Amino acid sequence: MAEPIRPSTALPANRSPFTLITADGETLVGEVASPIGSSTGAILCLHPLPTAGGMMDSHIYIKAANRLPDMAGITVVRFNTRGTTSANGTSTGTFDNGGAEKFDVEAALIYCLDTLKLENLWVVGWSFGTDLALRHAKDARHKGLILLSPPLRTSETSDLEYWNSDGRPVFTLVPELDDYLKPPEAAKRFAVIKNHHMIAVDGAKHLWLGEPSVYRVLTEITQIVAPDRLPLPTEI
């Protein structure tokens, strides 16, 4: 008899811990969750603010790793930025408010593209991670950005102008009830990027708590990365 997908549901996948060495010598810890069958694409997850509890196990990301490899064939790569701790361990270094994290993002992209040789790779940022994506995820080989609850806290106009010139798509999922940047203001701020696609989510909040919000986020990611795998199941 089928059971509903629950917050603790973990579907089959190949799960492998890894470590990265950044160009400035820090050691980052992470995990790859890949499908047992063929891969449809991949996401590199940049987590929320570590000084506010953000890490690679922040709930949207661990649920993505637990579900998307099996549901959608999507490989999910998560890691802790410098100075961040999760159940996987602690990355060395010190939080730098998105500055020195440039080396973390670059090392993770090199790992995804050169070591794992992932194809159809998208960078997913959430909150603090959206600023990391906009500022630092500029490797020309990934497909574009998917930004969850972007606060535009440290990104400058020049960062947005970069993505306008770059031409790759930038998707934003903006909660109606976000604490930092609601849809009307987000539409104005991101208007500089011609290839920007905003998805305003009614009733959602910055942290995407609750299974309906999780399902919506994972569905929108799948719509971008592997649309042929929709709809995602709600039961197993």
Domain assignment present for residue 56? The answer is yes
Any idea what the CATH number is for the domain that residue 165 is in?
3.40.50.1820
Task: Examine residue 10 and state whether it is found in any structural domain, yes or no.
Answer: no
In a domain, 7, yes or no: no
pLDDT band, very low/low/confident/very high, at 2 (cuts 50, 70, 90): confident
Domain that holds residue 72: 16-227
The three-class DSSP label of residue 202 is coil
Cα–Cα dist 91/81, whole Å: 6
Q: What is the mean pLDDT of the chain?
A: 98
Enumerate residues 6+ apart whose C-beta is below 8 A from 23. Answer: 103, 106, 107
Within-domain flag for 2: no
What domain count does the chain have?
1
- Concatenate the DSSP letters of all residues of 115-130 into one string: IS--SSEEEEEETHHH
- pLDDT tens digits for range 140-186: 999 999 999 999 999 999 999 999 999 999 999 999 999 999 999 99
Q: What is the pLDDT of residues 84-137, one digit of tens each?
A: 999 999 999 999 999 999 999 999 999 999 999 999 999 999 999 999 999 999
Within a domain: residue 8? no
Q: What is the value of pTM for the model shown?
A: 0.98
Is residue 68 in a domain?
A: yes
Is 234 part of any domain? no
Number of neighbouring beta carbons within 10 Å of residue 39: 17
Specify if 235 maps to a domain: no
